[in-house]
Structure 1
Amino acid sequence: MHIHFIAIGGSAMHNLALALQHKGYNVSGSDDVIFEPSKSRLSSKGLLPESFGWFPEKIHEGLDAVILGMHAKADNLELLKAKELGITIYSYPEFLYEQSKNKTRVVIGGSHGKTTITSMILHVLNYHDISVDYMVGAQLEGFDRMVHLTEENDFIVLEGDEYLSSPIDRRPKFHLYKPNIALLSGIAWDHINVFPTYENYVEQFKIFVDSIVKGGSITYNIEDAEVKNVVEQSENSIRKLGYSTPEYTVVDGQTLLDTPEGQMPIEVFGKHNLSNLAGAKWICQNMGVDEDDFYEAIGTFKGASKRLEKIAERTNAVAYKDFAHSPSKVAATTKAVKEQYPNRKVIACLELHTYSSFNPEFLKEYKGALDAADEAIVFYLPESVKIKKLKEVTKEQISEAFKRDDLNIQTNAASFKEFVFNKNYDNSVLLLMSSGNYGGLDFEEVKGLVSG
Structure 2
Amino acid sequence: MTKVHFIAIGGSVMHQLAIALKTKGYEVSGSDDEIYEPALSNLRQAGILPASMGWDPARITPDIDAVILGMHARDNNPELIRARELNLKIYSFPEYIYQESKNKTRVAVGGSHGKTTTTAMIMHVLQHAGKAFDYLVGAKLEGFAQSVNITDAPVIVCEADEYPASAIEKRPKFHFLHPQIAVLTGIAWDHINVFPTYEIYKEQFAIFIRQMEAGHLLIYNSSDEELATLVAAEGRHLRLIPYTMPIHMIRDGVTRVFFDEGFTDLEVFGGHNLMNMHAAKLVCNELGISDEAFLAGIATFKGAAKRLELVAENDRSVIYRDFAHAPSKVKATVEALKQQYPERKMIAVLELHTYSSLNADFLAQYEGAMDPADIAGVFYSKHALEIKRMPDLDPELVKERFGRKDLHIFTDRPAFEAFLAAQQYDNTNLLLMSSGTYDGIDFNGLRTLLG
Task: Report the TM-score range of the alignment, normalised by the length of the smaller protein.
Answer: over 0.9
| Structure 1 partner of 2:434 | 434
In the aligned structure 2, how far is the partner of 1:288 from the partner of 1:359? 45
In the aligned structure 2, how far is the partner of 1:187 from the partner of 1:282? 20
Which residue identity lines up with residue 88 of structure 1 in the other structure?
A: K
Offset at residue 382 of structure 1 (A): 2.2
| Structure 2 partner of 1:158 | 158
In the aligned structure 2, how far is the partner of 1:168 from the partner of 1:408? 42
SS at match of 1:166: coil
Q: Deviations over 1:179-238 (max 9, x none)?
A: 111111010000000000000100000011111122101000000011101111115521
Q: Deviations over 1:274-329 (max 9, x none)?
A: 01001111011011111111111111111111111112111211111110000000
Offset at residue 246 of structure 1 (A): 0.7
Offset at residue 47 of structure 1 (A): 1.9
Which consecutive residues of structure 1, in runs of 5 or more, have no partner in the other structure? none
SS at match of 1:171: coil
* Alpha-carbon contact 2:106-2:179 (below 8 Å) kept: yes
In the aligned structure 2, how far is the partner of 1:422 from the partner of 1:187? 38
| Structure 2 partner of 1:302 | 302
Query: Following TM superposition, where does structure 1 have runs of at least 4 consecutive aligned residues deviating by more than 4 angstroms?
Result: none
* Alpha-carbon contact 1:5-1:68 (below 8 Å) kept: yes
In the aligned structure 2, how far is the partner of 1:383 from the partner of 1:149? 38
Q: Does 1:12 align with 2:17?
A: no
| Structure 1 partner of 2:117 | 116
Identity between Structure 1 and Structure 2 (%): 52
| Structure 2 partner of 1:104 | 105
Once the two structures are superposed, the pairs formed by residues 134-149 of structure 1 within 5 Å of their partners are 134-149=135-150
In the aligned structure 1, how far is the partner of 2:365 from the partner of 2:104? 39
* Alpha-carbon contact 2:110-2:161 (below 8 Å) kept: yes
* More divergent stretch after superposition (213-222 vs 26-35): 26-35
CA RMSD, aligned part only? 1.3
Offset at residue 61 of structure 1 (A): 1.8
Once the two structures are superposed, the pairs formed by residues 46-445 of structure 1 within 5 Å of their partners are 46-151=47-152, 153-260=153-260, 263-445=263-445
Q: TM-score, normalised by structure 2?
A: 0.97
In the aligned structure 2, how far is the partner of 1:19 from the partner of 1:130? 19
Flag the 1:427–1:6 CA change in 2: closer, same or farther, 3 A: same
* Alpha-carbon contact 1:21-1:27 (below 8 Å) kept: yes
Flag the 1:235–1:449 CA change in 2: closer, same or farther, 3 A: closer
Offset at residue 263 of structure 1 (A): 4.7
| Corresponding residue pairs, total | 450
Q: TM-score, normalised by structure 1?
A: 0.97
Flag the 1:235–1:278 CA change in 2: closer, same or farther, 3 A: closer
In the aligned structure 1, how far is the partner of 2:448 from the partner of 2:44? 30
* Alpha-carbon contact 1:181-1:212 (below 8 Å) kept: no
Which residue identity lines up with residue 131 of structure 1 in the other structure?
A: A
In the aligned structure 2, how far is the partner of 1:134 from the partner of 1:295? 21
In the aligned structure 2, how far is the partner of 1:449 from the partner of 1:77? 51
In the aligned structure 2, how far is the partner of 1:393 from the partner of 1:349? 17
Q: Deviations over 1:133-153 (max 9, x none)?
A: 1111111111111111112x2
* Alpha-carbon contact 1:210-1:236 (below 8 Å) kept: no
Which consecutive residues of structure 2, in runs of 5 or more, have no partner in the other structure? none
* More divergent stretch after superposition (139-148 vs 324-333): 139-148
In the aligned structure 2, how far is the partner of 1:358 from the partner of 1:164? 20
* Alpha-carbon contact 1:179-1:211 (below 8 Å) kept: no
Offset at residue 49 of structure 1 (A): 2.0
